[in-house]
Structure 1
Amino acid sequence: MASDVKRKSASRPATRRAVTGDATRHRPPTIGEFGLENFAPYLINRTAMLWNARMLQAVRGFGLTTTKMRALAVLSIYPSLTVNELAQHAATEQSTMSRTLDALERQGFVSRQIHEQDGRVRSIAITAAGAAFFQQFWPTMLAMHADLMDGVDETEFAAFAATLHKLLANLAR
């Protein structure tokens, strides 16, 4: 019986009424009525926690931390970023990113240059050695992504990605 309740609530669409409460009851739903399986932040955090735990195991085999891997991945796409921009893209604190960049610079994987428009700011770029090193890890990361998306077809993924972009835009307001 409990599994029937869970199954029914898990298939409930996240309509505006489900999000804000039933107007006829004049009160928002309790967390029990709403259900964790319908609460997007909970699902996002659980997914991220499990992904990060698996990613940590994978990066350790390459002598990386997740923050180093994220920095190298982002810099593989964007040719030059400030520390703050890189921290934002890599979803980490600026102070953590600064320490990470110190280590990556010592390893010869990134370089810092004075920013063209603001001499107080440093632009970060991946070096050829850093790009080559990241390319060794990329197949592992891509395989992990494929495992994560197993059973999700292209249409579902496109809708999922579009929804996540909407959530990010909502949070940026």
Structure 2
Amino acid sequence: MSYLNQHRFAMQLAQLSRAWRAELDRRLSGMGLSQARWLVLLHLARFETRAGKWPTQRELAESVAVEGPTLARLLDTLEAQGLVSRQAVAEDRRAKRIVLNPVAVPLIEQIEAISSQLRQELFDGIDPEELRLCQQVHARILANLEKR
């Protein structure tokens, strides 16, 4: 692949990511959540489902790819809204587990429904084989990044 094609692909990928998140943020704006907050809620909900336990604040920060102090401020707001709670970790008094409160579940379901609708719209007309090939390319790029 030529340098120009690689450059175009990288720019297009970055533009796609920004535009996708901006459109989702626009659709979720009526829920009173910033992009950062709904992203934390989704990561938290998926983390609990995946791992079968609630993450520590550090694990959640890694999952969301934000610095600890940034996540702490987001969690302060989410906690004030009653959506999450911090619980002490018995093995490490300095660590806190982040627990999704039941009141957040309908909100997350609404976020997921809006997100699913957007995905359906964005993938309209895309052949499943084209999507599979694109996923393979992305997986190889991610693997190359992880080697670094």
Per-residue Cα deviation, 1:105-155 (whole angstroms, up to 9, x for no partner):
111111111234322111112111112211122211111122222222322
TM-score (norm 1): 0.71
Provide the residue aligned with 2:117 in structure 1: 143
**1:67–1:90 contact (8 Å) kept in structure 2:** no
TM-score (norm 2): 0.82
**1:72–1:131 contact (8 Å) kept in structure 2:** no
Higher alpha-carbon Rg: 1
- How many residues align? The count is 141
Following superposition, the deviation at residue 89 of structure 1 comes to 2.3
Unpaired runs of 5+ residues, structure 2, are 49-53
* In structure 1, distance between residues paired with 2:106 and 2:25: 20
RMSD of aligned C-alpha atoms?
2.0
Which residue of the other structure, out of 75, 81, 84, is the alignment partner of 2:55?
81
Which residue of the other structure, out of 120, 132, 141, is the alignment partner of 2:94?
120
**1:56–1:66 contact (8 Å) kept in structure 2:** yes
Go from structure 1 to structure 2 and tell me whether the alpha carbon gap of 1:114 and 1:59 turns closer, same or farther (over 3 Å shift): same
* Residue 38 of structure 1 pairs with residue 12 of structure 2: no
Where do 1:65-80 residues align within 5 Å? Answer: 65-79=34-48, 80=54
Higher helix share: 2
* In structure 1, distance between residues paired with 2:124 and 2:63: 25
Where do 1:92-107 residues align within 5 Å? Answer: 92-107=66-81
* Residue 51 of structure 1 pairs with residue 25 of structure 2: no
Provide the residue aligned with 2:51 in structure 1: none
Provide the residue aligned with 1:160 in structure 2: 134
Go from structure 1 to structure 2 and tell me whether the alpha carbon gap of 1:164 and 1:117 turns closer, same or farther (over 3 Å shift): farther
Unpaired runs of 5+ residues, structure 1, are 1-13, 19-33
Asked which structure has the greater RCO (Cα within 8 Å, sep 6+), the reply is 2
